[in-house]
Amino acid sequence: MDGNGRWAHSIGQPRTSGHATGSKAVRRVVTACRKRGVEALTLYAFSEQNWQRPAAEVHALMCLLRDFLESERREILDNHIKLRAVGRIERLPPLVRAILDPLLEESRNNTGMVLTLALSYGGREEIADAARRLATRAAAGELDPSSIDEALFETALPSMEVGPVDLLIRTGGEQRVSNFLLWGLAYAELYFCDKLWPDMTDVDLEAAIAAYQRRERRFGRVCNEPLVTSPTTTRRREPRFSLSVPEASGIALRARG
């Protein structure tokens, strides 16, 4: 969700005002995705590297996150959204955890869109954390190291609970992945747009989805060849947007048919 700072700068406001307006865009995009039938939406709200920003900006972001969770609680529950969080959540301050943790619990059995917030998140960190957990189990004799393949490794990656990414949208004109969902992005379609995040609307979301639907996804195969299921391709299913032709700074979508 890139471009908050530049948006604020363009109207002579402090960066935090860009984040506040960006927060309104979050509401718009979550609603648009839910109505569009998106199965899973992951928002890169705060990276592990964002802790290096000035303390006042970090604090403002944490307050916005708390405000968002408070104001959207009813919306999330009434629309059966399952809220998840990935990242080093233990680093978040109590003001966020006090509202985040109960809402994660309250919504855990919801069966609607899965909304994942990447918070204190880094793709490399997630992979390193997973490797450490598996190595610990192997050292304790609970896991045979020779059984570790891609499918098993994925089970240790919280971001992969919703499956691999179909579409990554990055706003703000940057064309980087910036340590977001590194494993799940392996075969994602990447969509970059110049719109600054606070200006993002449902029309921009539709444009991204339409571009995605025009892409041909081959997953390393040749065109139109049927998907062959193997231990490493079992979770790599065809996208399910209804048309069969679908930094911290990105949003990632899983499609639904």
Q: Which residues are catalytic?
A: 2, 50
Residue type, 54: P
Out of 165, 248, 252, 253, the only residue in the binding site for ligand FPP (CB under 6 A) is 248
Is the separation of the CB atoms in 69 and 103 below 8 Å? yes
Q: How far is the CB of 9 from ligand FPP (least distance, A)?
A: 7
When binding is defined by CB under 6 A, the residue of 83, 113, 114, 117 that contacts ligand FPP is 117
Q: Under the criterion CB under 6 A, does residue 2 sit at the interface with ligand FPP? A: yes
Query: What's the CA gap between 197 and 251, in Å, rounded?
Result: 10
Q: Is 26 in the site for ligand FPP (CB under 6 A)?
A: yes
- Burial class for 101, CB neighbours closer than 10 Å (0-12, 13-18, 19+): middle
- CB closer to ligand FPP out of 117 and 157: 117
Closest approach, Cβ 183 to ligand FPP, in A, equals 22
CA 30 to the chain's CA centroid: 12
Note the helical H segments in the chain: 4-10, 15-36, 55-78, 94-106, 123-139, 150-154, 202-214
Contact 154, 235 (CB under 8 A): yes
- Answer yes or no whether residue 45 interacts with ligand FPP by CB under 6 A: yes
Site string for ligand FPP, 193-222 (x = CB under 6 A): ----x-------------------------
Q: Work out whether 68 is an interface residue with ligand FPP (CB under 6 A).
A: yes
Is 22 a binding residue for ligand FPP by CB under 6 A? The answer is yes
# residues contacting ligand FPP (CB under 6 A): 24
Q: Contact between 65 and ligand FPP (CB under 6 A)? A: yes
- Return the number of other C-beta atoms located less than 10 Å from residue 103's C-beta: 18
Chain position whose Cβ is nearest to ligand FPP: 5
41 sits near ligand FPP (criterion: CB under 6 A): no
Q: Virtual CA dihedral for 44, 48, 53, 58, nearest 10 degrees?
A: 70
DSSP three-state, residue 132? helix
Q: Does 171 bind ligand FPP (CB under 6 A)?
A: no
Going by their DSSP bridges, the two strands 114-121 and 167-170 should be labelled as unpaired
Residue ranges in contact with ligand FPP by CB under 6 A: 1-6, 15, 19, 22-23, 26, 43, 45, 50, 61, 64-65, 68, 117, 172, 197, 247-249
